[in-house]
Amino acid sequence: QVQLAESGGRWVPAGGSLRLSCVVSGRTYDMAALAWFRQAPGKDREFLAAIRWIGGRTLYSDAAQGRFTINRDNAKHTVWLEMNSLNPEDTAVYLCAAGSYMRRSPDEYGDWGQGTQVTVGQ
C-alpha cells in the first residue's frame, strides 16, 4: 500500500557521518509512523528510530540515542536518518518502514523499503 525508497548509503570511514533518506509514496493517508531499522548478514532486524508523521514525536533505540537523529519533511514525503560517529559495528543494510504505531518491533510495520547499504571502514 505504501512504497518506500531509501537512498544515501555508502562507504564511510570510522568516525564519519552519513544521512539516509527515504521517500514515501502511495497510500500514505493513514500512515502514522515511520521508522529506521538495520540488518547485518545473519542477524535480526534491529530497530533504530521512529517518528510520528504528524507531530514529529520520536523514539530511539539505546544504540541510536544521542548518535542518530530521525526527522521527516511531510511536504516532501521524506524521512531521513542522520548518523554520526559511525563505527564498523554500524555496517548493515538500513531500511525504512511505515506503520500505524511508533514501536520498536519490526512486526509493527507493514510496509518496507528495499534498503540501502552502509559500510563503515575500520
pLDDT score recorded for residue 122 = 85
Residues 6+ apart with CB under 8 A from 88: 14, 120, 121, 122
**Average pLDDT of span 52-62:** 95
Cell of 108: 509493527
Higher pLDDT, 47 or 1: 47
Mean pLDDT of the chain: 95
User: How many angstroms separate the CA atoms of 45 and 40, rounded?
Assistant: 8
How much of the chain exceeds pLDDT 70, in percent?
100
Which amino acid makes up residue 19?
R
| Backbone Cα Rg of the chain | 13
Contact 34, 79 (CB under 8 A): yes
pLDDT score recorded for residue 96 = 97
pLDDT score recorded for residue 40 = 96
